[in-house]
Amino acid sequence: MRSEWVLATAAFLTLTGCIVEEDSGRTEHEAKTVDVGKAESVRAEIDLGAGQLNIKGDATKLLEADFTYNRRDWRPEVTYDGNSFRGLLTIRQGNHEGGGVHLGNNQYKWDLRFNDNIPLDIRVNCGAGEGILDLQHLTIRDLDVNMGVGRVEASLPPEPKKDYDVRVHGGIGEAVLHLPSKVGVVADASGGIGGIQAEGLEKRGGRWVNDAYENRSSPVTVHVQVQGGIGQIRLLATGT
């Protein structure tokens, strides 16, 4: 198993053009806030090449963010258009285009807090690193997570008011989803090396479902699709 992981990781780093560097400088800390404007719902596109991403709720504005980095060319770029019914928020790693994933003595961490009451479509692209997505208090309309190398752990809202879709695409690493138990959950999960571990779910016809879905005891359903490359997928619906 270990040799397969090593070979697969090396192949991924080669294909994605990873660059090993020791070019780092003084650690910078930067805070950023964004007002919602006229928008009644927001699409948030988060593009992190390599580093640590933390997302949670409890913001008074649309976004309250703290960034930590020690490469000036990686300074995050935040743009927002909230002049229409549906806003578009983009958070990107600086100097990200064409550079692959840069490894070395780098510090890169994003702490993003969103407003609990604003409906959000969240799309996350993370080339390498760790993502901790505590979405329990947020109003999620759609979630799409793309991981390259690393680990992502997401905790979904326990009692959403409407149906929504969740898609997680893993490359090399572990994907952990904490799923609600009080509303219906139906999950399609497929993985390569590492397999799938499910708790609080039963397999029915190639899909994983919870009691609320099987018994039709909830009018709300969360549709989950997880595709893992090399690594373990864990689906946990145990009291969330």
Tokens 């997401």 correspond to what residue?
154
User: Residue 136: which pLDDT band, with cuts at 50, 70 and 90?
Assistant: very high
Q: Which amino acid is at 1?
A: M
Using the predicted structure, report yes or no on whether residue 120 has a pLDDT greater than 80.
yes
Distance CA 154, CA 46 (A): 15
Which has the minimum average pLDDT: 91-95, 193-197, 199-203?
193-197
Torsion of CA 197, 200, 206, 212, to 10 degrees: -160
pLDDT at residue 19, rounded to an integer: 47
Residues 196/176, Cβ–Cβ less than 8 Å: no
Share of the chain above pLDDT 90, in %: 62
User: Residue 52: which pLDDT band, with cuts at 50, 70 and 90?
Assistant: very high
Which has the minimum average pLDDT: 36-45, 54-63, 64-73, 116-125?
64-73
Encode 157-167: b = buried (16+ Cβ within 10 Å), e = exposed: beebeeebebb
Using the predicted structure, report yes or no on whether residue 218 has a pLDDT greater than 70.
yes
Three-state DSSP class for 213? helix
pTM of the model: 0.85
Query: What average pLDDT does range 23-27 have in this prediction?
Result: 72
Query: What average pLDDT does range 8-24 have in this prediction?
Result: 49
Please report which residue ranges of the chain form alpha helices under DSSP H: 2-15, 211-214
Sign of torsion over alpha carbons 162, 140, 129, 79: positive
pLDDT at residue 23, rounded to an integer: 52
Using the predicted structure, report yes or no on whether residue 98 has a pLDDT greater than 70.
no
Q: Which residue has the higher pLDDT, 150 or 43?
A: 43
Helix (H) or strand (E) holding 34: strand 28-34
Q: Angle CA(123)–CA(128)–CA(133) in degrees, nearest 5?
A: 45
pLDDT at residue 5, rounded to an integer: 43
For 39: left if phi > 0, alpha if psi spans -120 to 50, otherwise beta; the answer is beta
Query: In this structure, are strands 63-69 and 108-114 parallel, antiparallel, or unpaired?
Result: antiparallel
Three-state DSSP class for 30? strand
DSSP conformation letters of 44-87: EEEEEEEEEEEEE---SSSEEEEEEES-GGG--EEEEE-SSSEE
